[in-house]
Chains A and B, each alone.
Chain A
């Protein structure tokens, strides 16, 4: 079945560590996005990519990095520079045409221990 797969579902990070969240899609979508969800704040855009080998910062990119080497994959690295990384992270993809909706993965819950 077509869709977006995020892994792992739960992730624990020690302070000072970098961790990478995986996002893979087989929908043949050009555009991919990473959002962060905190209680009461909705979804905030971290990074997005419209095509392979290109990506742009969103509203809260500090402390995060991404790569887009393949159309299907858009991994997110949470670096030690991110001071408050505990949150729920959602990956999404969509067709580049703006009239289409975005499809979301099931999310990764990251907790700093």
Chain B
């Protein structure tokens, strides 16, 4: 079974603070793909990053960084020096071809509020 858990429902931080959004996944597949999406108030999901299960290198993109650890089945997302524009709902997702459906399984999302 595929499952993504985002235990943090809501997080509030003051601008310029660092914040980490947690994502824990479950899958029996040996090959899988992990994603992070941002959903601003406009509603559209914006793709942030994709990670393959065989690539555990961490990644940094500007103020964003991602920590992928297969040993703990986690794919955490850190925003450094947060800004008000980072306020959004963030979704972690798992991609798998287990059923041939080529679908994405989403967590329940974490609502981040950055207070000016």
Contact = CB atoms under 8 A, between A and B. Distances in A.
Q: Which among A35, A42, A44, A109 has the greatest number of chain B C-beta atoms within 10 A?
A: A42
Given A48-B101, A50-B101, A99-B33, 8 more contacts: A41-B108, A42-B109, A48-B103, A58-B103, A101-B47, A101-B50, A102-B104, A103-B47
Nearest to A31: B102
B31 to A, nearest CB: 8
Interface in B74-93: 91
Q: Which among A56, A94, A102 has the greatest number of chain B C-beta atoms within 10 A?
A: A102
Contact of B102 (A44, A90, A98): A98
A106 B42 contact: yes
Contacts of B103: 33, 45, 48, 58
By size class, the interface of chain B is 20 to 34
Interface of A: 31, 33, 35, 40-45, 48, 50, 56, 58, 88, 90, 92, 94, 96, 98-107, 109
B45 interface: yes
B44 A105 contact: yes
A71 to B, nearest CB: 16
Contacts of B45: 90, 92, 104
A88 B35 CA distance: 21
B1 to A, nearest CB: 12
A60 to B, nearest CB: 13
